[in-house]
Homo-oligomer: A and B are copies of this chain.
Amino acid sequence: MAATEPTRVMMAVNESTIKGYPHASISSRGAFEWTLQKIVRSNATGFKLLFLHVQVPDEDGFDDMDSIYASPEDFKSLKNRDRIRGLHLLEYFVNRCHEIGVACEAWIKSGDPKEVICHEVRRVQPDLLVVGSRGLGPFQRVFVGTVSEFCVKHAECPVITIKRKADETPQDPVDD
């Protein structure tokens, strides 16, 4: 097969939900490392990774107790803090790509993750979307973890769903 444009792989990445745990979620890191190892392999120039982090405005704003009493000024600095956290999250993935010579781009959007991811797929038109998933059982899935299912149905490109491995699952399977 002749050399062509690199395969553009969009990866939706998020922060860990575990309190005090820094940076990327278990499923985001797992999906990223799997993609490098099993898809990109030694063909670093054949791929370009596009990292999208979607921040959920309300959840982030009211996660800390003191934010309930936040003045407009506090709220602005809080939003700024969120943005900085988001940049740190993306920095993790961008640095890994630079280390191994895979081209990448990264950006932050705000909104409902499943809607924003599908919107960004329409806008950016990647060849492939990679979403990590907590891989919960049928009972938990009713309440959480529907982002990957929504993307498989609605994203206008092929979608890889990568479940978290059993040995990476924290004590409470809802954590990530």
Binding site for B on A (CB under 8 A): 1-4, 7, 34, 36-44, 46, 100, 127-128, 141, 148-149, 152-153, 158-163
How far is it, in angstroms, between the C-alpha of A90 and the C-alpha of B149 when the chains are bound?
30
**Which of B36, B38, B40, B163 lies in contact with A128, CB distance below 8 A?**
B38
Oligomeric state, in copies: 2
A10 to chain B, nearest CB (A): 13
A124 to chain B, nearest CB (A): 15
Do A152 and B161 touch across chains, with their CB atoms under 8 A apart? yes
Do A42 and B36 touch across chains, with their CB atoms under 8 A apart? no
Residues of B within 8 A of A3 (CB): 42
Do B161 and A158 touch across chains, with their CB atoms under 8 A apart? yes
Residues of B within 8 A of A40 (CB): 1
How far is it, in angstroms, between the C-alpha of A111 and the C-alpha of B54 when the chains are bound?
41
Do B161 and A1 touch across chains, with their CB atoms under 8 A apart? no
A146 to chain B, nearest CB (A): 12
Residues of B within 8 A of A34 (CB): 158
**Which of B4, B39, B42, B153 lies in contact with A39, CB distance below 8 A?**
B39
Residues of B within 8 A of A46 (CB): 41-43
How far is it, in angstroms, between the C-alpha of A7 and the C-alpha of B42 when the chains are bound?
11
CB pairs A–B below 8 angstroms (5 shown): A1-B100, A38-B127, A41-B46, A159-B160, A159-B161
